Amino acid sequence: TLFRSGYGLQTGEINTVIYNTHAKRAFPVMLVESVPWYLRLYVHTLTITTKGKENKPSYIHYQPAKDRLHPHLLEMLIQLPASSATKITIQFERALLKWTEYPPDRKS
C-alpha cells in the first residue's frame, strides 16, 4: 500500500506498507521506489518499522533526481518477519514548478 500524507502544498510524507501474511516464514523483499523529480526527498528522514521496532535494510541504494530530467530512485532490501506489517516513511518537499509545467484543468 502506497500513500502520501501531510497537509498544505509545500511538504508531506510518502508512506509504504508491506504485509507478510505467512504465519511462519520471513521473506526478503527488494523495494524499488521511483519518486518524481518535483518531490524533493529528505533521505535523512527515512524510517522503516516492523512491529513497532526499527528494521534496518541490508542493502540501500539512492540515486537523486535531476530537475526536469529523471526521478529519484530508491532501492532497499528489507527482511519481512512472519505475520508482520512493515511501514516505510520518507518526508518530502515540493519543488516550485514553472507555470507551463502544471497539468491542465479538467474540462467542465
Mean pLDDT of the chain: 90
pTM of the model: 0.84
Residue-wise pLDDT tens digits, 70-108: 999 999 999 999 999 999 999 999 888 888 887 787 775
Collect all residues with Cβ–Cβ distance below 8 Å to 48 and sequence separation of at least 6.
54, 55, 56, 57, 76, 78, 86, 87, 88
What pLDDT, on a 0 to 100 scale, did the predictor assign at position 32?
A: 95
Residues 24 and 12: their CA atoms lie apart, in Å, by 36
Among 100, 101, 91, CA closest to 44: 91
The DSSP secondary-structure symbol of 98 reads: P
